[in-house]
Amino acid sequence: MTFRVALLPCALAAVLTSNAFAADQAAVPKQQDDQPGLTEFTYHTGLPRAPQQEAVVFELADLKFKVDPANKHLDGDATLTFRATKPVDALVVDLDRNFKVASVEVDGAAVTNWKNPEGRMTVPLAKPLAAGDAAKLRIVYDGKPHVAKRAPWDGGFVWATAPTGEPWVASAIQGNGCDLFWPCIDHPQGEPLQVDQHVTVPAPLVSAGNGIAMGMDEKDGWRTYHWRTKNPDTYAISLNIGPYELLEGTYKSRYGNTFPMQFWHLKDRGAKAKELFAEFTPMLDFFEEVIGPYPFADEKMGVVETPHLGMEHQTINAYGNEYKKSEYGYDWLLQHEFAHEYFGNQLTNKDWDDMWLHEGLGTYMQPLYMQWLRGDMEYHANLFKQRATLANKHPVVSGKSMREEDVYSDERGPGHDIYYKGSLVMDTLRQLIGDQAFFDATRLAVYGRTDPAPGNFKPLYANTQDYIAAVNKVTGKDYKWFFDVYLYQPALPELVATRANGQLNLEWKTGGKPFPMPVDVRVGNKVETVAMTNGRGSVPIAADQSFTLDPHSKVLRQLAHVDAFQKDRDEREKEEARKKAAGG
């Protein structure tokens, strides 16, 4: 998801913005006045699954949507196939109560005693399913889907108009969940094994969708586009409708396979769209060389232009950065959202508490890409701009189940730190264990193996402990101490240096946690590595010699000058706000 850019200086935002947009919503009222059916339950995503949801495999979601832009109306017809892993007496899905449900069926038989009091629909079964049995739940519904007031941070639909006058529609629901427009299991582990979409729109509009195009039918002034995808994130299923034209090409992978690259852009953006499309190939080259094979090569690498900033919708990433140029010579939003195909769609967090696996690793791909493409100057420039943003008020990982809105909140959770602190922690880990171990551990976490190749891996779930286990397995050492300090507590480690009796004495302050992090020190014109056993170490220093701690910036740590900068910036911003409020 992309991050919220409103709080960042423009120059910084252009460099740092990220799969996903960091949600920044205030506490949500239980009901919205303009949409009385929308409940607080629906607004939250990633709440604990019902026992009946945990007891099934979601095999297939066959989704029919008829989208009427003129009336901002959606007709839905969803047939969901579930297979029980243990006995279950009801099927439970999440669906926004804004919609009027016309009918509910299980295996073709009408069900009338279903309930949906808060947005979690329970459909009793006439006969309980035994382990291994399957059932098809069909729900026909219609209504006005929730309108996103500030997409993509506030989830919902965007009903816009293209510059050429046609309707331009998009869904962006990561912040609030799939239940805003289709009946689903609104949890990171609620992925269907397959989703078929049949999207009907007024002709001649185009619907660009997830996965593989299965054809298009046109009748009576309406077009129906058919799409099929496998193992998508629940929030990755999206609707993208507009007066699109298609740019396409074929990517030849270093792994010997080929797959389509496709970009649906507005019809008046041809020249700029071609420039952006030219970035697809080098971006893919980077990810395939540094991380591994593109995970969805059996479908496509797809991007669609949207009336909101962007989102990592699997194989059809939303792009709304308006083709802005940057001093780094690439489009940060295109690259960040694409990173989520690896960190988010291939590797999916088990819980929102592990969202740094999506955002931190995805954000680290931007400085890495600059190092790969241009060299060290851009790499370090990116990293330092990230360093200047850290809040360190909440741990990146709490160790307990979290709601999405709390994780993305700077007030109630780690917020921006899941992006930038996550990225900087990855850089420090890379410096500590070396490139080979770092990228092998990352591949192990993403693919389940260090030698991924087309056809030998599947999408998987992981949490923070799984990533730590991957690092330990690859290195043969226990790095729990590293993650305990950087992820499970807010404060950064502080390196304290004192001179005494011809020695420069060094000590890590970490709140009492073990932290044997080695550190380089320049003394005079020589750089030495201090082992820091038990968090302490020393190096000889003459009275007339200067020193620099960590001269190559390998270690993320507390920095007094950054703290002073942030304090000064915050005070100036408050004063400007005060003057503005006073009319000054």
| pLDDT tens, residue by residue, 181-205 | 999 999 999 999 999 999 999 999 9
| pLDDT tens, residue by residue, 420-468 | 999 999 999 999 999 999 999 999 999 999 999 999 999 999 999 999 9
Residue 335 CA to residue 18 CA, distance in Å, equals: 8
- Average confidence (pLDDT) over 205-209: 98
Task: Please say whether the beta carbons of 51 and 93 come within 8 A.
Answer: no
- Average confidence (pLDDT) over 47-76: 97
Which residues is 224 bridged to in the sheet? 200, 217
Residue 573 CA to residue 207 CA, distance in Å, equals: 43
Q: Would you say domain 1-30+271-490 falls under CATH 1.10.390.10?
A: yes
Identify which of 169, 168, 171 has the alpha carbon closest to the alpha carbon of residue 151: 171
Residue 257 has pLDDT above 70, yes or no: yes
Q: Band the pLDDT of 153: cuts 50, 70, 90.
A: confident
Identify which of 344, 252, 279 has the alpha carbon closest to the alpha carbon of residue 20: 344
Task: Please say whether the beta carbons of 190 and 184 come within 8 A.
Answer: yes
Residue 428 CA to residue 481 CA, distance in Å, equals: 13
So what's the pLDDT on residue 112?
Answer: 97
Q: Which CATH architecture has domain 494-555?
A: Sandwich (2.60)
Asked if 1-30+271-490 and 43-241 have one fold, the answer is no
Q: Band the pLDDT of 154: cuts 50, 70, 90.
A: confident
- Average confidence (pLDDT) over 312-337: 95
- Strand 134-143 relative to strand 212-219, pairing: unpaired
Q: Band the pLDDT of 43: cuts 50, 70, 90.
A: confident
- Give the lowest-confidence range in 38-42, 227-231, 241-245: 38-42
Task: Please say whether the beta carbons of 308 and 152 come within 8 A.
Answer: yes
The 3-state secondary structure of 375-413 reads: CHHHHHHHHHHHHCCCCCCCCCCCCCCCCHHHHCCCCCC
So what's the pLDDT on residue 28?
Answer: 34
| pLDDT tens, residue by residue, 545-554 | 999 999 999 9
So what's the pLDDT on residue 259?
Answer: 98
Q: What DSSP designation does 235 have? A: G
Q: Band the pLDDT of 38: cuts 50, 70, 90.
A: confident
* Segments making up each domain of the chain, as ranges: 1-30+271-490, 43-241, 494-555, 559-584
Q: What DSSP designation does 343 have? A: B
Residue 326 burial (CB count, 10 A): 13
Q: To 5 degrees, how large is the angle CA 338–CA 490–CA 235? A: 30
So what's the pLDDT on residue 175?
Answer: 86
**What values do phi and psi take at 10, rounded to 5?**
-55, -45
Q: Band the pLDDT of 539: cuts 50, 70, 90.
A: very high
Residue 176 CA to residue 45 CA, distance in Å, equals: 5
- Strand 194-202 relative to strand 56-68, pairing: parallel
Residue 168 CA to residue 336 CA, distance in Å, equals: 23
- Average confidence (pLDDT) over 340-368: 97
Task: Please say whether the beta carbons of 268 and 163 come within 8 A.
Answer: yes
Residue 318 CA to residue 416 CA, distance in Å, equals: 21
Instruction: Quote the mean pLDDT of the chain.
Output: 93
Sheet holding 547-549, edge to edge: 526-530, 519-523, 547-549
Residue given tokens 């200086």 in the structure block:
9
Q: Where are the alpha helices (DSSP H) in 68-107?
A: none
Task: Please say whether the beta carbons of 538 and 530 come within 8 A.
Answer: yes
* Percentage above 70 pLDDT, the chain: 93
| pLDDT tens, residue by residue, 94-143 | 999 999 999 999 999 999 999 999 999 999 999 999 999 999 999 999 99
Query: Out of 3.90.110.10, 2.60.40.420, 2.40.50.140, 2.60.40.1730, which CATH number does the structure's domain 43-241 have?
Result: 2.60.40.1730
